[in-house]
Amino acid sequence: MSADASSPDSTPTFPMAPPPFDGSCRVVPAGAAIEWLRFGWDLFTRAPGAWVVLALVFLVLTLAVAMVPLAGALASHLLLPLLAAGVLQAVRRQEEGGKVELNDLFAGFSRETTGLVVVGLCYMLGWFGILAVGMLIGGGSLVGGAATGGFGVAIAGVLLAVMISLALAVPLFMAFWFAPALVYFNHMQPVPALKASFSACLKNILPFTVLGLIMGVLFFVAALPMGLGFLVLLPVSFAVLYASYRDIFPTA
């Protein structure tokens, strides 16, 4: 017998839950990269002390985990999206008028943790694949050069391996860029989030090219004073990531 339309089980609950976010994005102009950087700098200057502390803890944690023998590489890749979600939460808190709190850095450990860990696992596998390709090409060139005495051939092969590895790293970065935000804020599954991130970056290749060129210069400048500049550039980069996410995924 069919259920009575007036029964409690058939009565819809209001407000009804919105449909799951499908990763829809928009294309922004190349100049959007400048606005993202401006947003990042403004956010940092409004709470520089709190952001320097958060950046310092972020760096200490990631470097300490990476230095652990054997398991360090695995753990650092799994940790990165968890901490990325935390810094994005800190940016959102300040954007909404709140104060940056160190506890925000660990928000990914209590919300969407499994999905973020899976994103980190995919990121790690991607890097292992890139390293395997690089070692295969570079190692083969070194062995061939040593066997034939062709030093120039060996060097050319190593340079080719480096160039191919860098080329393969670009799509990996594209897939990872928005994935933690999409998993943490929009509750997307890891693989669809990675696909949506790659697609969004590909559609917005111009602003990201502009951003990459500017960030390359800023990274060089930040490294000059014994690397202390990264305590400023890192928080700005966190806010740039968040700004690009909100700009390209306006309905998120």
Residue 21 CB partners (closer than 8 Å, separation 6+) = 182, 186, 187, 188, 251, 252
Long-range contacts from 197-200, C-beta under 8 angstroms, 24+ separation: 198/171, 198/174, 199/23, 199/25, 200/23, 200/25, 200/248, 200/249
> What is the distance between the alpha carbons of residues 102 and 114, in angstroms, rounded to a whole number?
22
> What is the distance between the alpha carbons of residues 86 and 80, in angstroms, rounded to a whole number?
10
For the chain, what are the domain ranges?
A: 28-124+176-248
Would you state the structure tokens that stand for residue 187, as one six-digit string? 């509750």
Question: What are the two backbone dihedrals, phi and then psi, of residue 6, each rounded to the nearest 5 degrees?
Answer: -90, 0
* Residue 239 C-alpha from the chain's centroid: 12
What's the pLDDT score for residue 227? 85
What's the pLDDT score for residue 152? 66
Task: State the number of CA atoms in the 13 A half-sphere of 152 facing the CB.
Answer: 0
With 0-12 / 13-18 / 19 or more C-beta atoms within 10 angstroms meaning exposed / middle / buried, residue 203 is middle
Q: Indicate if the pLDDT at residue 86 is higher than 60.
A: yes
Task: State the number of CA atoms in the 13 A half-sphere of 236 facing the CB.
Answer: 20
Q: Indicate if the pLDDT at residue 114 is higher than 90.
A: yes
How much is the average pLDDT of 198-217? 97
What's the pLDDT score for residue 121? 95
pLDDT in tens, 125-178: 999 999 888 888 766 665 555 556 556 666 777 787 788 888 999 999 999 999
pTM of the model: 0.86
